[in-house]
Amino acid sequence: MVSKIKPPRRFDIHLSAGRLEAFWIGPEPEDAPTLIFLHEGLGCAALWRDIPARLVEMTGCGALVFSRLGYGGSDPCPLPRPIDFMHHEGQVVLPDVIRQCKIRHHVLIGHSDGGSIALINAGSCPAPGLAGLVTLAAHVFCESITRHSIEDARRRYLTEDLKARLAVYHGENTDCAFWGWNDVWLRPDFAHWNIEAFLPAIQVPVMAIQGEDDPYGSPAQVDAIRDGKKSAVDVRMIADCGHAPHLERGDHVLPIVRDFVRHSKLAMDSESIGMGT
């Protein structure tokens, strides 16, 4: 089937701390709800690959995909990152991005650190129009399995080809992206990092997806999301899957996300009708 979606529109988002590379796919925010994609700790806009475009086609929503400071084609950021860097992204950066892009109704889709950022945002300072969020291998606390895998990533970055593979996507930001992520997660005091306190305040539907073979987190992560939120969470553990369910098992995961977004979109449509907009 030939895609009817236009090529992504590239633009910049200017923050007080620097410039973000961003891409818009599909309908503009005044014409349809928006899916906001928040990448993982070694990710960037490009590493979502074709997932945003596929979900735009499947849902009829628009999509905003951007790289955080220090990643991809965005400006670099100062290192080391502070322990509360995800709090800053969820409570300061993301609201500014949503405001600048004039986004109204939206669903957050966050992978790994991006999922944690989405949870922090939804549980503390959600923008008007937040209708739901999907987490893909999100972290809500630091586990030993996480730190062990991050230590192994450090070894592979220093002795194998991980740096070269990341450089394809991050270019001059490669060291900034890697060490900004790796160093903070391996700090001794980061072992106590925990965002479970944000979960009870989340007022929108949540879908929590995780691979059964995720080397960066155990099922205790999605259990904590389910148990911490006051209303039901749709938890999906994906068999034969590691840390990137949307990429490793996309044919299975994307229809699940599509259905969640469709239900959220129905709620958004009902709200708009009730408001007379």
Separation CA 12–CA 150 (nearest Å): 31
| 119 touches 136 (CB < 8 A) | no
Token couple for 93: 């950066």
- CATH for 9-275 (3.40.50.1820, 3.90.76.10, 1.10.10.10, 3.40.50.720): 3.40.50.1820
Where are the extended beta strands (E) located within the chain? 9-15, 18-25, 34-38, 62-66, 106-111, 130-136, 206-211, 233-238
Q: What global pTM score does this model have?
A: 0.95
Q: What is the pLDDT along the chain (277 residues), one digit of tens a residue?
A: 445 778 999 999 999 999 999 999 999 999 999 999 999 999 999 999 999 999 999 999 999 999 999 999 999 999 999 999 999 999 999 999 999 999 999 999 999 999 999 999 999 999 999 999 999 999 999 999 999 999 999 999 999 999 999 999 999 999 999 999 999 999 999 999 999 999 999 999 999 999 999 999 999 999 999 999 999 999 999 999 999 999 999 999 999 999 999 998 766 765 553 433 3
Cα Rg of the chain, angstroms: 18
Domain borders along the chain are: 9-275
